[in-house]
Amino acid sequence: MKAVLSFSFRDVWNGVKYSFSFKKLWTQLQGLLLGVFIYSVFAYIALLVSGLSLGEIWYYWKFVPIPVGEGLSILGKILIAIGIFAFVLLNYVYAVAVAKITIEQLRGDEFYEVKDAVKFAWKKGWPVITTPLSITFVIVFILVGGIILGLLGKIPYAGEIIILISVIPAIVMCFFLVYLFIALLFSLILPPSVVASSESDTFDTLFEVFSTLNEQPFRFVLYQFYTWILALFTSSLFAWALGRAVWIMDRVWGASWLMGAKFKAVEETALYFFTSSPVFSSFYPYFRFLGVGAILNVPASLPPAGGLATFVGFFFGIGLYLMVFLVIAQVINSLNVGTLISYLVIVKKKDELDLLETKKEEVGEKPLEEGEGTSK
C-alpha cells in the first residue's frame, strides 16, 4: 500500500519508522563491511611500505588500522587515500540501494528484494560519485585559472594592468566559488535520493542539486538538521539496546555459579582483538552515557586465558566488530532514509511533483510498442 505523505516537516519526523528496518540495515551493512575490508587491506599495505612490521600493525590496530598521527611515507598516504576513497564509494553505492528499497516501500512494494536494490545501485548509482566530482572539477578549474592570473600579475608593469583589468571578474568568480562550495556540500548528500527516486544520470542529478540549492536551500538545511537528530536518536537507541544485551549476557554467564571467571577471560580476550585508536577517546563520555564505554578498554596484550578461551574470545571479538558496524550502518541508514523523505517533500514544494507517483521503466524493461498491451 502506497504511503500517504503530508509533504511537510512531519514526514521527516515520521521517517524514523522507515529507518528501523532489518532489510535496509543489512543492505547498508554489506557496503560498510566490504568498504572496511578494502580499506583495511590498503591501510595494512600503507603501513608496511611506511616501515612498520606486520607484528607492529597488529599490536596497535588489529583488524582495522586507524593510523592517526602516524608518520606515513608518500606512497603510504596515497594508499590510505585510495582505501578511504574505496570505503566512501562502496558506502555511497549501497546508500543508493537503501534509498531504492525505501522509495519502493513508500510506493507500496514492501517485498522489494535486497539483491534487486544492490543490482540497481551498481548499475545506476554512479552519479553519487560523478556529481560531486564534476563540481570539484569546476572548482579546481577556476582555482587554477586564479593561480595563472596571479602568476601573470608578477610580470613587471604589465602585471599591475592585468590585475586591474581582471579584478572585477575575479571577485565575481570568487563569489561563484563560494556558491560552488555550497553546491558541493549538497552534492555529497542528495544524489543517493535523486538516483533512487528518479533513476537519474549525472546531468539530471546535477540539475536537482542546483535546483534544490537555488529554490529550497533553507528547507533542505532545516530538514537535514531534523534528519541528523533522528539519526543520532535511532543509532543511540540501537547502541544502547545492543549494550544492554551484552550486559545481560555478562551478568548471566559471568555469574560465579555459572561460567564466572571463565567468561570474563573470554570477554577480555574479545576486547583485545578490537581496534584501538586515539580517535575513539573523544567519544568516551558519549559511549559511557550509552553504557557501552567498556568497548574502549582494549588490553595491551593478549590475556593468558588458555587456548580454547582465546579461540572463543577471537570469535567473540568478531561479534564486537559486527555490533559496532551495525550501529554505524544504522547511522548511515537513518541519514539515507531521512534525506530521501526530505527530498520527496522538497520536490513536491518546488516542482509540484509527487515522486511516489512517478516511476521510470525498470532497467532492461522493454517499452510497449503501439498497439501492444491491448486485448485482441
- The per-residue pLDDT for range 243-257, each reduced to its tens digit, is 888 888 888 887 777
Evaluate if residue 212 carries a pLDDT over 90.
yes
Q: Which residues contact 2 (CB under 8 A, 6 or more apart)?
A: 106, 107, 108, 356
Q: How far is CA 88 from CA 83, 85, 101, in A?
A: 9, 5, 20
Mean pLDDT of 118-146: 94
Evaluate if residue 217 carries a pLDDT over 90.
yes
DSSP secondary structure, 218-237, as one string: HHHHHHHHHHHHHHHHHHHH
Which of 103-112, 163-172, 304-313, 337-346 is predicted with the least confidence, judged by mean pLDDT?
304-313
Its pTM stands at 0.85
Evaluate if residue 365 carries a pLDDT over 50.
no
Name the band, by pLDDT with cuts 50, 70 and 90, for residue 13: confident
Q: How far apart are CA 21 and CA 28, in angstroms?
A: 11
Domain ranges across the chain: 9-351
Q: Could you tell me if 2 and 108 are in contact, meaning their C-beta atoms sit under 8 angstroms apart?
A: yes
A 10 A CB-CB count for 182 gives: 12
Nearest Cα to Cα of residue 93 among 27, 21, 38: 27
Give the HSE-up count for residue 182: Cα atoms under 13 Å, Cβ half-sphere: 14
Q: How does the average pLDDT of the chain come out, rounded?
A: 86
Name the band, by pLDDT with cuts 50, 70 and 90, for residue 358: low
Q: How far apart are CA 273 and CA 305, in angstroms?
A: 14
Q: How far apart are CA 220 and CA 186, in angstroms?
A: 9
Q: Would you state the pLDDT for residue 364? A: 41
Evaluate if residue 349 carries a pLDDT over 80.
yes
Evaluate if residue 344 carries a pLDDT over 70.
yes
Q: Would you state the pLDDT for residue 283? A: 80
Q: How far apart are CA 364 and CA 14, in angstroms?
A: 34
Q: How far apart are CA 327 and CA 32, in angstroms?
A: 11
Element (H, E) at 52: none
Mean pLDDT of 303-313: 79
Q: Would you state the pLDDT for residue 332? A: 93
The torsion angles phi and psi of 206, rounded to 5 degrees, stand at -60, -45
Evaluate if residue 305 carries a pLDDT over 80.
no
Alpha helices in the chain (DSSP H): 9-14, 16-19, 22-49, 54-61, 74-106, 114-124, 127-152, 158-187, 191-198, 202-215, 217-253, 261-272, 278-281, 284-290, 307-351
Mean pLDDT of 350-369: 62
Q: How far apart are CA 290 and CA 329, in angstroms?
A: 17
Q: Per-residue pLDDT tens for 23-73?
A: 999 999 999 999 999 999 999 999 999 989 998 888 888 899 988 877 889
Q: Could you tell me if 31 and 91 are in contact, meaning their C-beta atoms sit under 8 angstroms apart?
A: yes
Residue type, 374: T
Q: Would you state the pLDDT for residue 371? A: 47
**More confident: 360 or 321:** 321
Q: How far apart are CA 31 and CA 124, in angstroms?
A: 16
Q: Would you state the pLDDT for residue 374? A: 42
Q: Which of 253-257, 262-266, 344-348 has the highest mean pLDDT?
A: 344-348
